[in-house]
Structure 1
Amino acid sequence: LCSLLSVPLDVKLLLTVRYFLQRLSLKGKVKWRSNATDLTELKCPIKWNVQRRCGYRNSLIILDSLLTTFFFLTISFFLSPFTIALHRLILSTFSRMNTNSSDEFFQATNHAEQTFRKMETYLQHKQLCDVLLIAGDHKIPAHRLVLSAVSDYFAAMFTSDVREAKQEEIKMEGVDPEALRSLVHFAYTGVLELKEETIESLLAAACLLQLSQVIQVCCNFLMKQLHPSNCLGIRSFADAQGCVDLLNVAHNYTMEHFLEVIQNQEFLLLPTAEIVKLLSSDDINVPDEETIFQALMMWVRYDVQHRQQDLGVLLAYIRLPLLPPQLLADLENNKMFSDDLECQKLLMEAMKYHLLPERRPMFQSPRTKPRKSTVGALYAVGGMDATKGSTTIEKYDLRTNTWVQVGVMNGRRLQFGVAVIDNKLYVVGGRDGLKTSNMVECYNPISKVWSTMPPMSTHRHGLGIAVLEGPMYAVGGHDGWSYLNTVERWDPQARQWNYVASMSTPRSTMGVTALNGKLFAVGGRDGSSCLRSMECFDPHTNKWSMCAPMAKRRGGVGVATYNNFLYAVGGHDAPASNHCSRLSDCVERYDPKTDTWTTVSSLSVPRDAVGVCLLGDRLYAVGGYDGQSYLNTVESYDAQNNEWTEEVPLNIGRAGACVVVVKLP
Structure 2
Amino acid sequence: MTPNGYLVFEDESFLDSTVAKMNALRKSGQFCDVRLQVCGHELMAHRAVLACCSPYLFEIFNSDIEPHGVSHVTFEDLDPAAVEILLHYAYTAQLKADQELVKEVYSAAKRFKMDRVKQICGDYLISKMGSQNAISFRNFASSMGDNRVLAKVDAYIQDHLLDVSEQDDFLKLPRLKLEVMLEDNLTLPSNGRLYTKVLNWVQHSLWENGDQLEQLMEEVQTLYYSADHKLVDGGLVIEGHPEVFGGEEDHLQFVQKKPPRESTQRPMSCSSSGSLSPSGAPKQSSRTEWKYIASEKTTNNTYLCLAVLDGTLCVIFLHGRSSPQTSPSATPCLLKSLSFEAQPQELEERLLSPMHYARSGLGTAALGGKLIAAGGYNREECLRTVECYDPKEDRWTFIAPMRTPRARFQMAVLMGRLFVMGGSNGHSDELSCGETYDPVADDWTQVPELRTNRCNAGVCSLDNKLYVVGGSDPCGQKGLMNCDAFDPVAKAWTNCASLNSRRHQAAVCELDGFMYAIGGAESWNCLNTVERYNPKNDTWTLIAPMNVARRGAAVAVHAGNLFVVGGFDGSHALRCVEVYDPARNEWRMLGGMTSARSNAGVALLGELVCTVGGFDGNDFLNTLEVYNPETDEWSDGTDGFSSFSSSSG
TM-score class, shorter-chain normalisation, is 0.3 to 0.5
Structure number with greater CO (CA < 8 Å, separation at least 6) is 2
Which has the larger share of helix? 1
Normalising by structure 1, what TM-score? 0.40
Which has the larger share of strand? 2
State the structure with more CA Rg.
1
